[in-house]
Structure 1
């Protein structure tokens, strides 16, 4: 396949580009480098552009004539979305609309979209399967919900085939250390736990220890980024081979609390993780764990690297090599 990866210079996007190249596909990274890294573009051509710039998008699609798009170029912080919702509706919703319109104009038939468990909001039942009501409780989740609605409508109207992958918490890094998790500022839990353990930050802030969970801290389903990359590539391969549109959860089916991650990190690093308990953040559900049986059935996808030990060790390896 020939694949345009929007946001391909970012965390999950760069890992997916590596997996695409590993499987023999041709990669084109489309990124405005607002949060991505030019140094992460290692497995294909680079096209500098914003997803809200339809002229640039169409120029890229016209030049490369891809079999499909894998779309990662979205803003992705729950807390920021509550404070600045306009950014999320502009980039995630407006940007995705520009991608779909450009696909229609340039006759690109397939798209895999990075969605989120945030579309479910506070789930009524756990683990979460795809039949659970979509009721996002923050602007980030709402923006992903609207993205999925547009995918469905463009599929009906214009025949664009889509797979929306609703995944839970991406974590870990490339085992070869070629790319990794490198955000500025870093807000994701596992790298911040490691930063606290290594003395790179003074302490970890834990937002809420009074949730209705066994130890009071939030529980999340963590998936290794290399497992996520494999799922995106497989989803696009299936659509190019004639597969149907779907919305599919990606997860492990089990979760870890923040305190469990702190304890496991202390065990691996051999140092304490200084931390302080803060008030809850708005928009954070107590527990999010996936039922990933549809991914197993539809994609033959099973996470191989998503044990907490492998996730933390791979993240630690990248962080210590790039301090």
Structure 2
């Protein structure tokens, strides 16, 4: 029983592949390596280089490897950059998902776990986001992920697709020193790269309506996130039913400045971050309840913030 992991050579996808292996399930990875790395794919895992927008390639991959379900992580994931590149974002995230769903339908593959985002909520008018919170995305990225959820819903009506979407925000840490977050936009690698280069880390905006003026987010460890994807896949494979979407949240969240303090504490490098202008498309606060995911997927956070920083720092430092 093989699962296709789109974007499986990326930071999150490579952890998902390892989480599948941990429970004895086979994977095949499809990735165009636009942001992923061939070396992140474990030796012995089949790898296909290509884009999800290539419907024929996706269909051929599904057929050749006897795929029974898909974990769909491949996407252009940067909310701030999506404001400057909306058409690129929609092509990768919406057109790409349409292509994937067409390929799945052509090969009779009827199960998908979709990597969505808390960005679908925009800046919610509530202290704690639940699955019933209205979706009001504020960036092309958030909009594209919400459209992806709609596509799954409509395809379920049309052809009986079995699906669920996992919504989450800042993914951090590392489950193995072999994989680290190489994004040029995410907070942890930006801070670590600055420290390794002898520069001062930057906070993008400290005038948000939050207790210390900096953005508040859920930060979840990538290994916990990967386990949630596998739990969802196993439930669908066993014929179980899942909710259309789950929030993978901490229930409390942390501010960017609090993360900076934790980085200084764990690394032993004392610094005072430089404050610059806000980054376009960033909501002030998104903190979600994970209660529904705990009920159905056994979701829980097993890493403290210091462990998140430590595992991420160790992995990044090993590849400086």
TM-score (norm 2): 0.97
* Superimposed CA distance per residue, residues 103-140 of structure 1 (whole angstroms, 9 cap, x where no aligned partner): 11100010001100000111011210000001101100
Which SS does the other structure have where 1:163 is aligned? Answer: strand
Summarize the alignment of residues 1-323 of structure 1 with structure 2, pairs less than 5 Å apart.
1-42=1-42, 44-174=45-175, 176-183=176-183, 186-198=184-196, 200=197, 202-245=199-242, 246-305=244-303, 307-323=304-320
Please state how far the C-alpha of 1:190 moved relative to its aligned partner: 1.6
Which SS does the other structure have where 1:193 is aligned? Answer: helix
Query: Where in structure 2 are there 5+ consecutive unaligned residues?
Result: none
8 Å CA contact 2:260, 2:273 repeated in 1: no
Please state how far the C-alpha of 1:191 moved relative to its aligned partner: 2.1
Please state how far the C-alpha of 1:196 moved relative to its aligned partner: 2.6
- What is the alpha-carbon distance in structure 1 between the residues aligned to residue 236 and residue 270 of structure 2? 47
8 Å CA contact 2:191, 2:202 repeated in 1: no
> Which stretches of structure 1, 4 residues or longer, exceed 3 Å deviation after superposition?
none
Please state how far the C-alpha of 1:202 moved relative to its aligned partner: 2.2
- What is the alpha-carbon distance in structure 2 between the residues aligned to residue 272 and residue 6 of structure 1? 39
Deviates more, 1:96-105 or 1:277-286: 277-286
8 Å CA contact 1:219, 1:258 repeated in 2: yes
* Superimposed CA distance per residue, residues 270-292 of structure 1 (whole angstroms, 9 cap, x where no aligned partner): 11235321111222111110111
- What is the alpha-carbon distance in structure 1 between the residues aligned to residue 218 and residue 188 of structure 2? 12
8 Å CA contact 1:202, 1:274 repeated in 2: no
- What is the alpha-carbon distance in structure 1 between the residues aligned to residue 59 and residue 18 of structure 2? 24
Deviates more, 1:202-211 or 1:189-198: 189-198
Please state how far the C-alpha of 1:263 moved relative to its aligned partner: 1.1
Which SS does the other structure have where 1:317 is aligned? Answer: helix
* Superimposed CA distance per residue, residues 222-263 of structure 1 (whole angstroms, 9 cap, x where no aligned partner): 000000000000001001111224200001112111111111
How many residue pairs end up in the alignment?
Answer: 318
Which SS does the other structure have where 1:67 is aligned? Answer: strand
- What is the alpha-carbon distance in structure 2 between the residues aligned to residue 273 and residue 91 of structure 1? 38
* Superimposed CA distance per residue, residues 79-123 of structure 1 (whole angstroms, 9 cap, x where no aligned partner): 110001001110000000000011111000100011000001110
Which SS does the other structure have where 1:29 is aligned? Answer: strand
Please state how far the C-alpha of 1:6 moved relative to its aligned partner: 0.4
8 Å CA contact 2:28, 2:47 repeated in 1: yes
- What is the alpha-carbon distance in structure 2 between the residues aligned to residue 318 and residue 108 of structure 1? 36
- What is the alpha-carbon distance in structure 1 between the residues aligned to residue 231 and residue 305 of structure 2? 24
Query: Where in structure 1 are there 5+ consecutive unaligned residues?
Result: none
